[in-house]
Amino acid sequence: MQGEVIQHVKEIWEFDLVQKCFEEIKFQLFFPHIDYYMNGIDNIIKSDFVPSNEDIVRCRQATIGASTTTFWREKFWWTIIDVGGHTPERVKWQNIVKDGINAMVYFVALDDFATDSVEEAGKTKMDITKLVWEEVVNSDSFGKECILLFLNKIDLFNEQIKIQRQYDIFKEKFPDYEGPQDADKAVEFIERQFIELVKERKEIYTHRTCAIDTTQMAVVWDAIRDNVFRQRIAVSGMQLVV
């Protein structure tokens, strides 16, 4: 029975009309990797299937509460606290910050410029992300901590901007953008919008990231480590010689 269901699902997925509909709406979907899993469904349904690293990192699960991970790396213990970004989760941030942190990493999903927000009608998910960023980065809770802005999902954003209808949506959402149909220029524009919301003179470290690219994230980790160490040295009053 299971095999029959899977076969019907595959047949439906392969319909030209279904593929056309998916291409029209895939950038507005909450879960953008449906095609990845559908194209690999024959392997996934095997009884001895073991997910690869890429299978795992492409999964999407909303963060509920605060998830803490502690690990030893390069002679230091690191603790990462992952907190959700939806309204019910944001009220919990204060309790985490007051216990003391060394750095804040704020993720911006670049592809959210075209996705409607479920929190507030008439706004996109990126609109909400900007509002939350402005509130958090200008909060008294963050003083001398290292602040990192991750412009994430750069792979999906690059793909979107190449498509004319998605670029038209981008221009509609950002009428002040006067640059070309170029992903790098468009990301620079978005980055400036976030940086301009910082009211005080704070050093913001920005990184363009693709969370499913493990090689790139390893490089980003090195940058995070260096940024955190530099910030802590500066706070201590020591001079850093490079």
pLDDT at residue 167, as a whole number: 93
92 contacts: CB under 8 Å, gap ≥ 6: 65, 66, 83
What secondary structure letter does DSSP report for 108? Answer: E
Give 98-110 pLDDT, tens digit per residue. 566 677 788 898 9
> If we measure between CA atoms, which residue out of 102, 106, 141, 72 comes closest to residue 232?
102
Q: Is residue 83 part of a domain?
A: no
Asked whether the predicted pLDDT for residue 65 surpasses 70, the reply is no
- Is 109 found in the same domain as 209? yes
Any idea which of 28-37, 43-52, 174-183, 193-202 has the lowest mean pLDDT?
28-37
Quick check: is 119 in a domain? yes
**Total length of the chain:** 242
pLDDT for position 239: 43
Residue 195 lies in a domain: yes
Whether the CB-CB separation of 196 and 147 falls below 8 Å is answered with: no
Domain that holds residue 21: 2-57
Same domain, 47 and 138: no
Residue keyed to tokens 């970004």: 85
Q: Count the Cβ atoms, other than its own, within 10 Å of residue 73.
A: 9
Question: How far is it, in rounded angstroms, from Cα 39 to Cα 10?
Answer: 9
Q: Count of domains in the chain? A: 2
Do residues 133 and 220 share a domain?
yes
Q: What CATH number has the domain bearing residue 153? A: 3.40.50.300
d(CA 130, CA 125): 9
- Asked if the structure places residue 173 within a domain, the reply is yes
54 token code pair: 């890429």
Structure-model confidence comparison of residues 48 and 72, the more confident one: 48
Token pair of 154 as six digits: 């750069």
Mind listing the pLDDT tens digit for each residue in 114-148?
888 877 788 888 999 998 888 888 877 666 667 88
Tokens of 158: 């690059």
Note the pLDDT of residue 76: 74
Q: Are 33 and 60 in contact (CB under 8 A)?
A: yes
The answer to whether the CB of 54 falls within 8 A of the CB of 183 is: no
Residues 117 and 200 in one domain: yes
What is the torsional sign of CA 16, 19, 21, 23? Answer: negative
Instruction: With 0.75 as the threshold, say if the pTM is over it.
Output: no
Say which residues have a Cβ less than 8 Å from residue 103's Cβ, sequence separation at least 6: 145, 146, 147, 148, 224, 227, 228, 231
Determine the pLDDT at residue 195.
93
In-domain check, residue 121: yes
- Provide CB contacts within 8 A for 212, sequence distance 6+: 54, 57, 58, 155
Single-letter code of the amino acid located at 200: E
Residue 122: per-residue pLDDT: 81
DSSP 113: G
Confidence class for position 161, pLDDT limits 50, 70, 90: very high
